[in-house]
Amino acid sequence: FKLSGVCHVGADGGLKDRPRRRPLSPFSAPSSIRLTAHEAFPDVAAAIAFANVGDDDSRNDGDKRDIISHEESQRISKGGVVVIPNWVPSGLVRALREDARKLFDDGQFQPDGLTNTALREQGFNAKADRQTFRGGADWDDYDVGDGKARMEFALRMGRLREELAITLDRPTLSDEGRGEGWEDKDKSMRQRRHEITYNWYEPGAKLGRHLDEHHEETKGTKGWIRPSRRSVTWLVYLNENWEAEEGGVLRCFPRTEGCISTNDVPVGAHEGNLQVGWVTGGGDEGGIIQQYPVFLDCFRPSGGAALYRVVKSSSSSLNDDERQILSVRDFDVPPQPINFASFLVPEVRETFEQISTSRVDPRFVPPPLANDSVKAEEEDAAKISMKTDTVDRDGLSGEIIGGGTVLDVTPAAGTLVLFDSVTLPHLVMEVTGSRQRIAATGWFHEDSQFVLEV
């Protein structure tokens, strides 16, 4: 085994003063996975851990780069999308693709994330809907497919998660917790804290615009149940030589490049309060329209909720941020569909953009409004086609709409995509070619703000 890369994370002297770094050995990759591997493969688990740390990926070669760069992780914090081609070595990509195919042939995938069309017709349609191999109990189940490749990949993702816990200053990302129901004899009840899955789109399948996580207070009776929530979304595509004409593009809706580069308030959550929108403010600097995340605090001393933005103080201490309350008075969060703008002071209301509304997110619609949502989806499709400008970054193209942009990512083998799970709407365009679109996808979790005792 190559041992040269064993200390690759610690070897970066530049990381020393980042907060809360935990000592990281190859074996501190998810212990949950390691334990199971030992159970199943007592002697190869260690071998994989070592072999993998020194793998021949150029990103880990002598340039002492981390598993992702500091700039890349800052892009997530600022509300951007990180896209890194060839992040997973091609041999591992091939093994995972073959594994997914085998699992699919064995009937191990389940329908998941039904499109609106399917909801209307009350049924799953393989030609229209995405299907998933749930990581829960099965990701490290050595009885099916290529468990060794899946573990090697899980270790790699575990190292990335540890890195993000530090660089994003989201310390509870590094908690490995087995997750809910792990002791449960019924496998289907078991859940990992950090989700890891394969997903599969037949030709014709697509996934509507959505967010991967929402503020618990907006979830009605489904809120405040789980001890952890989705924090960072990751996608790794497995499709060899995927061509643009084959469709299946991941369409993301980040802010503009200018806004991302000037944003100094971390997106997603502030002191446990999740982000629900954006507001324009402070005039435009050099032609750049600045937008700031708007957070929802539902634990105000009044017992009600308030919307606020964070104003960075001029002092360098991170704890000196001030909350600028943007709502007229404290309020009770109503049931869906929620229009947060109605609680805002008039000056702010005009530029407020809610991240997720029933109009732009088909999954955010309560059942009685299903027909409206269809209309909304059509309106939205029209809006998406109204392109006003284009951007080009690192060969990725997108079109600017409203206060944000559209960023399209081709699902090419080995490409890693990362973004904050709360702040970034996205969708998968229809697969128009004749072959399946296959990806490994997952969510790194951080602690929920709190959990209701039931």
- Examine residue 116 and tell whether it contacts ligand AKG (CB under 6 A): no
**R_g of the chain, CA atoms, integer Å:** 22
Strands (E) across 228-303 are located at 228-237, 250-252, 269-270, 273-285, 288-297
**Number of residue whose CB is nearest Fe ion:** 212
Nearer to ligand AKG, 194 or 270 (CB): 194
C-beta closer to ligand AKG: residue 292 or 443: 443
- C-alpha 438/C-alpha 426 separation (Å) is 17
Q: Give me the least distance between CB of 347 and ligand AKG, in Å please.
A: 35
428 lines the binding site for ligand AKG (CB under 6 A): yes
Of 212, 217, 361, 380, the one binding ligand AKG by CB under 6 A: 212
Q: Choose the stretch contacting Fe ion; rule: CB under 5 A; options: 17-25, 212-220, 270-278, 306-314.
A: 212-220
82 is a contact residue toward ligand AKG (CB under 6 A): no
* 237 vs 343, beta carbon nearer Fe ion: 237
Going by C-beta distance under 8 Å and a sequence separation of 6 or more, which residues neighbour residue 387?
399, 400, 401, 406
Question: What residues from 243 to 272 belong to the interface with ligand AKG (CB under 6 A)?
Answer: 250
Question: What is the number of helices (H) and of strands (E) in the chain?
Answer: 9, 20
Q: Which does residue 235 touch among ligand AKG, Fe ion, none (CB within 5 to 8 A, set by kind)?
A: ligand AKG
Judge whether 445 and 207 are in contact, CB under 8 Å: no
**Alpha carbon distance 209, 361 (integer Å):** 5
Give yes or no for residue 207 binding ligand AKG (CB under 6 A): yes
Residue 269 interacting entry, from ligand AKG, Fe ion, none, C-beta within 5 to 8 Å by type:
none
Q: Is 199 in the site for ligand AKG (CB under 6 A)?
A: yes
Q: Output 212 or 217, the one with its CB closest to Fe ion.
A: 212
CA angle 39, 41, 47 (to 5 degrees): 125
238 near ligand AKG, judged by CB under 6 A: no
- Which one of residues 212, 217, 297, 446 is an interface residue with Fe ion (CB under 5 A)? 212
Q: Which residues 6+ apart lie within 8 Å of 248 measured at CB?
A: 201, 206, 239, 242, 411, 428, 429, 430, 431, 432, 433, 437
- Least distance in angstroms from the C-beta of 309 to ligand AKG: 27
Q: Is 377 one of the binding residues for Fe ion (CB under 5 A)?
A: no
The burial of 43, by beta-carbon neighbours within 10 Å (0-12 exposed, 13-18 middle, 19 or more buried), is given as exposed
User: Is 333 or 439 the residue whose CB approaches Fe ion more closely?
Assistant: 439
**Of the candidates 235, 333, 360, 438, which one interacts with ligand AKG according to CB under 6 A?**
235
The least CB distance from residue 211 to ligand AKG, in Å, is 9
Would you say the C-alpha torsion 348, 351, 355, 361 has a positive or negative sign?
positive
Count how many residues are written for the chain.
454
| 240/438 Cα distance (integer angstroms) | 10
- Residues numbered 396-425 forming contacts with ligand AKG, rule: CB under 6 A: none
Q: Which is nearer to ligand AKG, 199 or 327 (CB)?
A: 199
Cis status, amide bond into 337, omega within 30 of 0: yes
Residues of this chain that bind ligand AKG (CB under 6 A): 113, 199, 207, 212, 235, 250, 426, 428, 439, 441
Residues of this chain that bind Fe ion (CB under 5 A): 212
